[in-house]
A and B are shown apart, each in its own frame.
Chain A
Amino acid sequence: MSDAWWTVVLVGSATIAIKGAGPLLMGGKPLPPRIGRVIGLLAPALLAALVAISTFGGERALVLDERALGVAGAAVAIALKAPPLVVVVVAAMVTALARAL
């Protein structure tokens, strides 16, 4: 089995278990405040890391290329409250245009 299929199986079963655990066990009790605070910060930390890496990441190197322009365009679209689809189109169009020039 390829890495891609292992990823599908492992991520899929882990996600199904994670999503289902709370409602299945029906504990109904809130998390201890300290754990809740830690988990609540996971999304901003990881998503910011993904923005940084997918904008500036290369093969074991940081690179500045047309992607940065596309992401800057996306940031403007987000600031203007554009829907996600428009944000993606802006990012792709700006990047493609910069590459073509």
Chain B
Amino acid sequence: MDEPGSLSFAHGARKVAPFSIAVLGFGMSFGVLARPTMGPIAPIVMSATTFAGSAQFAAASILGAGGTLAAAVVAAVLLNARYAPIGLSVAPSLSGPWWSRFLRAQLVVDETWALSADGRGGHDPKIIVGAGVVLYAAWVAGTALGVLFGDLIGDPARLGLDAAFPALFLALLMPNLVRSRSRVAAILGAAIALALTPIAPAGVPIVAAGLACLIGWRRR
């Protein structure tokens, strides 16, 4: 069963431990922030099925700001579009029956993708599963705690939790700014979003900002 050179599931679980504590808090803030707009059950179901933090925050914040369903869904799907090439990059490392490859692919998120990289362009499938299961449990449990906790703490704005959205997006953004072209895309995306905010419905500026990635079309 052991693939040569493959590390254990427990190793993946240990590697992801510091992240899972943060993800538990991240999930709690998602539960707290999504509940007023989405109700108590939908945020938990979303965390259990979508399992992609930034997209869930984007969808919930667009709905919370009075944006349309289409804007929320398009923005979330655009945010998750990176999982198409990420999925392709992991594909050669995931063997076995189709359903097993499909299920394990659901555990691939930014953190498990980064942690499972072997430095030679491959990914350890046991790290993906070991780290992924721990992170998934933390994300769903955190969301449930946030939904319950939300009742006790009342209005998130009073506690400054509305600033958690931009803070978390900033934390997710920083590792994406290593290359100079990424920084240009980030500045362009922010500029498009801010320029359109006063004139377009909520959500549309975010979707339009996604077009900034087209600067990658030019060779260099």
Hey, which bits of chain A sit against chain B, CB under 8 A? 2-8, 10-16, 18-31, 34-62, 66-67, 70-71, 74-75, 78, 83-85, 87-99
Contacts and interface: CB of A to CB of B under 8 A. Distances in A.
Nearest to B163: A70
B contact face: mostly helix, strand, loop, or mixed: helix
B81 A18 contact: yes
Contacts of A47: 54, 79, 169, 172-173, 176, 186, 189
A20 B72 contact: no
A contact face: mostly helix, strand, loop, or mixed: helix
Contacts of B186: 44-45, 47-48
Given A7-B76, A52-B193, A78 B51 contact: no
Contacts of B81: 18, 39, 42
7 contacts: A7-B76, A11-B59, A20-B87, A22-B86, A23-B94, A39-B82, A95-B160
B114 interface: no
B159 A92 contact: yes
Interface size class of B (residues with CB under 8 A): 35 or more
Contacts, number: 326
A57 B205 CA distance: 10
Contacts of A25: 91
B181 interface: yes
A23 B39 CA distance: 34
Closest 10 CB pairs of A and B: A95-B160, A22-B87, A70-B163, A45-B189, A49-B209, A91-B167, A96-B160, A74-B167, A49-B193, A48-B186
Given A7-B59, A11-B76, A27 B46 contact: no
B166 A7 contact: no
B66 A45 contact: no
